[in-house]
A and B are shown apart, each in its own frame.
Chain A
Amino acid sequence: MKRLFSVALGILTAIGGFVDIGDIVANSETGARFGMSLAWVVVVGVIGICLFAEMAGRVATVSGRAVFDLVRERLGARVALVNLVASFFITFLTLAAEIGGVALAIELATSVNYLLWVPIVAFCVWLVIWRVKFEVMENAFGLLGLTLVVAAVALWRLGPDWGGLLHGATHPVVPQGEGHPTWWFFAIALLGAAMTPYEVFFFSSGAVEEGWSRADLITNRLNVYIGFPLGGLLSLVLMAGATLFLEPRGIQPGHLSQVALPTVLVLGKLGLAVLLIGFFAATFGAALETGLSCGYSIAQYFGFQWGKFVRPAQAPRFHLVVLVSVLAGAGLILTTLDPITVTEYSIVLSAAALPLTYFPILVVANDPDYMGDKVNSRFTNALGSLYLLVLVVVAVATIPLMVLTKAGS
């Protein structure tokens, strides 16, 4: 019984923790511009992240060490350094975007300018990382993030033309009046948002934090294979809302308040209140994860003690990296750069860095020294390799497309 409860908790936490500011912005902007024609990208992204997250979780569960930790041993200091620099930079940018996202969510709830909230948010993010137990942190924000389901409730209450939505999703055609390069650029951004690198190494380090062992392999798989797709479904709900309310009117959502419009128009004040809790939980949870991931990546490359499973005094450099990252992330947002713009750049650059961050996972998950008999199956390797090929193509295409489409304008 207790087992069932903990499995259910893990799945629910995975669903609620899936969506972050990148997914919110990407899905809403894409739905408003291209309807459901890019829904397939979310599906591709979710399958990809399920594949690699399961691998990363399995590596940590079986070997007792996080994926990033093993990358340097397996691939050497130089290659791992390239991986580190790319991963850290992207994760840091995402951290800044999430801090901005939290501030925007609070601004929407209080009408107090988001910039004033940034220092408070940064402090709270750091404080929670410093003091709150890992599992409590994960469970609390994961479950609270489930409130985003209100957007799905709004959709259901509206009773839209489901056939039409499904048709749009299954017929990926560039809408009239839009260019093909822009469509592909948004596809790349959407993929970057769904497969953000930090999710994978956070998942792996988290497995070590929570002390998973072989007995938890099944839990790992269930969390990933049930939790993540349902989380992806929430992303698609945001896309559908934008398709139904924003696209017909030519509204381009550049503000969180516009993303909330579909829910407001169907469910009113209560719907908005619940949605705001969801936005807050999703972004704050992601800020915690990206903050910790900044620390994990640096500490695991250089080999210093990391983790919340030891006293802070026993992992000083890890905590220092986290602290400096959160401060610098807040600093970036305080330069009054639009947080939505920071988010857009973070997801696009994530897409460009995906092969660098995902390739080592595939290598480590195949190593019998660490994995014993739990190495990748042939199917997993085939699918994983296929994904890496796609990700390389995406990475190569990102910068040229960004220049060509003037970053999707």
Chain B
Amino acid sequence: MRRPWVVLGLVLVVAACTGPVRSFPVYESKAGDTAEVVASAVETARLAVDAARDNKAHGRYLTQVLVEAEEDAGSAQGTFDGIQPPDRQADELRDRLDELLTEATGTLAELRIAARRGELAELPKLAAPLTEVAEGLHAFAEDHA
């Protein structure tokens, strides 16, 4: 009766593991996945700002959405930055992605701060850079995921 549990345990461990990255293609795909996750967070924030602009949501809901978006983006960036790039080519990729990620997390933080303060009218202006960032992340993800 014990075998299935061992298998299940192994499965859960494998599903969670990231492990060291030794080759560029694997690193590239992880970079692409990270871009996808952050893109999702950025797009969520953009939708939330649309809702704010059209007065369709309370500050409370908006704050929640923006906080979660910031957390998701931040944790994705943190995980990605923790991966050792295997070679020079990976270094370049990392620099390019990090530029996008830093701008994304920075803007999301500003949005979160404004929402928490109840400055909902400021949100559309603060979210302006997100359009380009989103495009950049989507393009990056398509090229590399």
Contact = CB atoms under 8 A, between A and B. Distances in A.
Interface of A: 107-108, 110-111, 177, 245, 249-252, 254-255, 257-258, 260-261, 264-265, 268-269, 272, 399, 402-403, 406-407, 409
The 9 closest A-B pairs by CB, nearest first: A268-B56, A249-B43, A407-B15, A252-B40, A257-B65, A251-B40, A255-B68, A111-B60, A251-B43
Interface in B119-145: 138, 141-142, 145
A82 to B, nearest CB: 9
Contacts of B39: 250
B28 interface: no
B138 A250 contact: yes
Main SS of the interface on chain A?
Answer: helix
A62 B104 CA distance: 62
B60 A258 contact: no
Nearest to B39: A250
A402 B55 contact: no
Given A265-B56, A269-B57, A403-B15, 20 more contacts: A108-B61, A108-B64, A177-B145, A249-B46, A249-B47, A250-B40, A251-B47, A252-B36, A252-B40, A254-B72, A257-B65, A261-B47, A261-B48, A264-B56, A264-B57, A264-B61, A268-B57, A269-B58, A399-B8, A399-B11
Contacts of A245: 47
Contacts, number: 74
B68 A257 contact: yes
Interface in B58-79: 58, 60-61, 63-65, 68, 72
Nearest to A261: B47
A403 B11 contact: yes
Nearest to A349: B8
Contacts of A255: 65, 68
B63 A111 contact: yes
A399 B37 CA distance: 25
* Secondary structure of the B contact surface, majority rule: helix
Contact of A252 (B14, B37, B50): B37
B21 interface: no
B57 A402 contact: no
A257 B11 contact: no
B43 to A, nearest CB: 4
B15 A402 contact: yes
Contact of B51 (A110, A177, A249, A265): A265
Contacts of B37: 252
B98 interface: no
B36 A250 contact: yes
